[in-house]
Amino acid sequence: MDILSIAIIIFCIMESANVAILYFKPDSKLGNGVAVFDSWKDAKEDKPMDLFVHYMAYWVAGVKLIFIFLLLVVLFTGTQTTKVFAVIAMIISIATYFYKLHPIIKRLDSMGKITPKGYSKTLGIMISSFLIMFSVALLIHFVI
């Protein structure tokens, strides 16, 4: 099995766990569970807001599923060239987290609206790890 396929499989497994958390245990603080946001608890007291935040959590899970299933299609039917471009697409799309989302979660963290405190750093490290994994896999693919 080639290095690009291994990176894709690791990502799919990790993100599948996050999808399961978002769909079945959104109150979790594990993975991408949204209970790390203190506003999640506040929203539960306001029924329309509670429905909205659940909708958004499930929407995020659905988007993650799109990525997972498309990567599985690439994994099982794609050529090496397709895998290379899929990995490049993953690097670019994952990197966009640092453009808008990371500054927001850092700000919420500094305002004391994230539990546990410092979670923005943990999430940043996790997402950076995906970027590093895909980048190293791509580098190894071209070197070997």
At 73-114, the pLDDT tens digits run 999 999 999 999 999 999 999 999 999 999 999 999 999 999
- DSSP state at residue 45: T
Domain boundaries, the chain: 3-143
At residue 84, the pLDDT reads: 98
Question: Does the reported pTM lie above 0.85?
Answer: yes
The pLDDT score that the predictor gives to residue 113 is 92
| 34-57 tens-digit pLDDT | 989 989 888 888 889 989 999 999
> What is the number of residues in the chain?
144
pLDDT at 64 over 90: yes
Per-residue DSSP letters for 102-125? HHHHHHHHHTT-BSSTTHHHHHHH
